[in-house]
Amino acid sequence: MSDLLERLRGRGWRMTAQRRVVAEVLDGEHVHLTADEVLARATARLPEISRATVYNTLGELVTLGEVTEVTTDGRAKRYDPNAHRPHHHLVCSRCGAIRDVHPDGDPLADLPASERFGFTVSGVEMTYRGLCPDCS
Amino acid sequence: MSDLLERLRGRGWRMTAQRRVVAEVLDGEHVHLTADEVLARATARLPEISRATVYNTLGELVTLGEVTEVTTDGRAKRYDPNAHRPHHHLVCSRCGAIRDVHPDGDPLADLPASERFGFTVSGVEMTYRGLCPDCS
DNA sequence: GTATTGACTTGGACCTGGTCCATCGTAGGA
DNA sequence: TCCTACGATGGACCAGGTCCAAGTCAATAC
């Protein structure tokens, strides 16, 4: 994720300890943390970081397209740093575990014009539901 | 939706004025109301109905499989009475308008075993995003 | 190296959506 | 018509998130 820090700097982002820590916490594959989890992990590294800053920073990362928001349960939003590789999600209905998945085909092409109702369709999110190995 | 009332009675549901009003408010196609909107419309017909009752009743309808919960924006859940005809949703990114849509193909079949990570996959939700005619 | 300044951070108040619970009311069976 | 268990009520409470005035500091200019 150090290339993320580079990209952000290149965009004129003012680099602060808080922002660096939030970006570092989001590093990795299959990371889908809630804002509170990000706060907890960030606090472990930088105890005086505030909740508002975590929310601000996450919001900026989303606006910049570096991170996507995922809502799988109507409760806390989750933040997915894997924004440059399009993918969908597979969620365990029991324990909430989340995996990134890459289905075959192009779901956008599967929506015929007659089902678009004049909308300009730009994207699609798919959430597969099921039971993970531990829960089934 | 009077057949809904019949089905509920058949399942031993105790019929009260409040439950009847909530069920009636959810009648129709392309209805995607938030709990607060349901409460507002129910209050118009039955002024003394309480918020807790609306939440309770919506929860029961969901449990019974008569209504599905839809979360399109991480804010308020929406309640979709069109639960017996499987479908997905098309959402305007600007104004939040929602349409039911029926894409071609079978998205479940598009998730190969190698992308299932041992999950027992049982369903999928698709949310198409775009701009509605009024907003584009 | 220092001064400057506007962007960033802070903590606490506040908001929205939702849940819980003790108490009261009533649908529907006997 | 009476009884009673199930349902309704409203107000407290909770989680997740946003807002704001005041203080802090990264980056630029010198």
Residues B65 and B110 in one domain: no
Which of B71, B105, B118 has the CB atom closest to A71's CB atom? B71
pLDDT computed for residue B24 by the predictor = 95
Q: Averaged over B14-30, what is the pLDDT?
A: 93
What share of residues in chain A are helix, strand, coil (percent, to 5)? 35, 20, 45
| Digit-coded pLDDT (tens) for A86-97 | 999 999 999 999
Residues facing B6 on adjacent strands: none
Domain with residue A94: its CATH number is: 3.30.1490
Q: Does residue B1 have a pLDDT over 60?
A: no
Number of domains observed in the structure of chain A: 2
pLDDT computed for residue A136 by the predictor = 87
Which residue's CA shows the smallest distance to C1' of D5?
B14
Strand C closer than 7 Å to the CB of A118? no
Residue B135 lies in a domain: no
Q: Does residue B29 have a pLDDT over 80?
A: no
- One-letter identity of residue A84: H
Residues B27 and B92 in one domain: no
Residues B94 and B71 in one domain: no
Residue B136 lies in a domain: no
Q: Does residue A80 have a pLDDT over 90?
A: yes
Asked if B99 and B82 count as a contact pair (C-beta separation under 8 A), the reply is: no
Q: Does residue B127 have a pLDDT over 80?
A: yes
Grade residue B83 by pLDDT with cuts at 50, 70 and 90.
Answer: confident
Grade residue B80 by pLDDT with cuts at 50, 70 and 90.
Answer: very high
B→A contacts (Cβ < 8 Å), by residue, are 69, 71, 73-74, 77, 90, 92-93, 99, 101-105, 107-108, 110-112, 115-133, 136
Q: Does residue A121 have a pLDDT over 80?
A: yes
- One-letter identity of residue A125: E
From CA A4, how far away is CA A24, in angstroms rounded? Answer: 9
From CA A105, how far away is CA B115, in angstroms rounded? Answer: 13
Please choose, from the candidates A19, A52, A25, A53, the residue with its C-alpha nearest in 3D space to the C-alpha of residue A37: A25
| Residue B95, Cβ density class (10 Å: 0-12 exposed, 13-18 middle, ≥19 buried) | exposed
Residue A107 lies in a domain: yes
Grade residue A38 by pLDDT with cuts at 50, 70 and 90.
Answer: very high
Residues B48 and B93 in one domain: no
Residues A46 and A102 in one domain: no
Domain with residue B46: its CATH number is: 1.10.10.10
Please choose, from the candidates A20, A26, A21, the residue with its C-alpha nearest in 3D space to the C-alpha of residue A8: A20
Residue A98 distance to chain B (closest CA, Å): 11
Q: Which of B55, B80, B105 is the last residue of a domain?
A: B80
Residue A40 lies in a domain: yes
pLDDT computed for residue A4 by the predictor = 83
Backbone φ/ψ region at B65: left (φ over 0), alpha (ψ -120 to 50), beta: left
- A80 vs A28, which has greater pLDDT? A80
Asked if A64 and A19 count as a contact pair (C-beta separation under 8 A), the reply is: no
Residues A71 and A29 in one domain: yes
CA of A52 to C1' of D21 (A): 14
Asked if B86 and A59 count as a contact pair (C-beta separation under 8 A), the reply is: no
Number of neighbours of residue A81 by Cβ within 10 angstroms? 21
Q: Does residue A1 have a pLDDT over 60?
A: no
Residues B57 and B26 in one domain: yes
Please choose, from the candidates A76, A74, A48, the residue with its C-alpha nearest in 3D space to the C-alpha of residue B35: A74
Grade residue A69 by pLDDT with cuts at 50, 70 and 90.
Answer: very high
pLDDT computed for residue B82 by the predictor = 86
Q: Does residue A2 have a pLDDT over 70?
A: no
Task: Give chain A positions within 8 Å (CB) of B122.
Answer: 93, 129-131
Strand D bases with any atom < 7 A from protein Cβ: 6-11, 15-20, 25-27
| Digit-coded pLDDT (tens) for B38-79 | 999 999 999 999 999 999 999 999 999 999 999 999 899 999
Residue A136 lies in a domain: no
% pLDDT > 70, chain B: 99
pLDDT computed for residue B39 by the predictor = 98
% pLDDT > 70, chain A: 99
Which of B115, B128, B132 has the CB atom closest to A111's CB atom? B128
From CA A82, how far away is CA B36, in angstroms rounded? Answer: 35
Residues A63 and A8 in one domain: yes
Which of A71, A126, A132 has the CB atom closest to B74's CB atom? A71
Q: Averaged over A3-7, what is the pLDDT?
A: 83
Strand C bases with any atom < 7 A from protein Cβ: 7-12, 16-21, 26-28
CA of A56 to C1' of D3 (A): 59
Q: Averaged over B76-96, what is the pLDDT?
A: 94
Expressed as residue numbers, the domain containing A124 is: 88-130
